[in-house]
Copies of this chain bind each other. A is one copy, B any other.
């Protein structure tokens, strides 16, 4: 991608109402644009990151037998009346359409997925089933703030599993927990598994929390074995001995990046999702649900992975692998050579499978180019200038490191593959 053609604009000042670090950096770097409180457009750089996050999640959901589907955002009131949640979910966006038909915009999809799965399941042989979708959800947050962390419209991956009994649910639940930890590891997030309230469904659920000062949740966690509880249900306080090992419990702020719930039969009861067991007896299916918000995860990554100069993307979700920068001077002849070498490198790197953003702009200063590069947070920066050209070399710097290395043109590919 040529940076001269890229649809973006970096900016130094951003609106005062943007308090969160993730929104400040993502808006400043031209990854997202704020349409209104809690609602953002994703620009090309931001959409690339979002899609890569979704890809990681998809791969790990497929690995535990999840099958991708896509349910609508527009959902009929009747379904929400069946569970009573039309009146109890206070952030539900409600709407009346033509003919007086009432709708809710999906803030979650148990009311849709349960009757859908009911159509496919007759016998214990049809279970277990696990389906997921990645789709925009809507919540009428009275005070949307925190950038991508708490939106009115946000991307959500929701997986639902259906089982013949609780034992099978329990075993899938542990599998999903493992898959979630893999997702967060690949996304560069050090997530703690935190015991939390099970709401009206179960005694407990589990949240995946990332420690950071900007977090909205308070958790207690063991410094040694990482056992953790959400403060809302905590039986232990800061300084207490860990109930699982001889470590000490610490208190910390954290961002919730995922949660998993045992819904048991709450929704299968509401929609009469039953099946015939081995003995031919009617039984209710047992459900679990598992959520990760890709846009929220994107915000969380920025919160924990940045410095004073900008974002530092983990390799797997960076918008590009390499930011190739050509620095042009006043000598037309040398500029031609710089351009030629840069274009050659661009081509060979792309052929080798690297995704490269090439800053080909002629009238932009080195200072501005480096500033934008740091703001973007692409893992590797390669610079070709008059100076490096003299040594038939490229200057290579990792975004997160200070060290700069000079690497010969013909060694660059090998160097990057190290």
Residue in contact with A7 in the complex, picked from B6, B7, B41, B129, CB distance below 8 Å? B129
Whether B74 and A7, one on each chain, are in contact in the complex, defined by CB atoms closer than 8 angstroms, is no
Interface stretch of the complex, out of A31-39, A332-340, A390-398: A31-39
Central interface residue in A36, A40, A65, A76, by most chain B CB within 10 Å: A36
Chain copies in complex: 2
Decide yes or no whether A64 CB sits under 8 A from chain B. no
- Chain B residues contacting A76 (CB-CB under 8 Å) are 35-36
| Complex Cα spacing A104 to B35, Å | 13
- Chain B residues contacting A44 (CB-CB under 8 Å) are 67-69, 131
| Complex Cα spacing A95 to B96, Å | 8
Once A35-B75, A99-B142, A136-B136 are accepted as A-B contacts, the answer to whether A120 and B9 lie under 8 Å apart by CB is yes
| Complex Cα spacing A138 to B95, Å | 12
- Chain B residues contacting A119 (CB-CB under 8 Å) are 9, 33
Whether A72 and B41, one on each chain, are in contact in the complex, defined by CB atoms closer than 8 angstroms, is yes
Q: How far is the CB of A228 from chain B (nearest CB, A)?
A: 32
Residue of B nearest to A8 (CB): B120
Once A33-B119, A50-B70, A70-B41 are accepted as A-B contacts, the answer to whether A5 and B95 lie under 8 Å apart by CB is no
| Complex Cα spacing A43 to B120, Å | 11
| Complex Cα spacing A41 to B131, Å | 12
Residue in contact with A93 in the complex, picked from B67, B71, B97, CB distance below 8 Å? B97
Residue in contact with A74 in the complex, picked from B75, B99, B138, CB distance below 8 Å? B138
Residue of B nearest to A98 (CB): B142
Q: Which residues of A contact B (CB under 8 A)?
A: 5-9, 33, 35-36, 39-44, 47, 50, 65, 67-76, 93-95, 97-99, 103, 105, 112, 116, 119-120, 129, 131, 136, 138, 140-142, 152-153
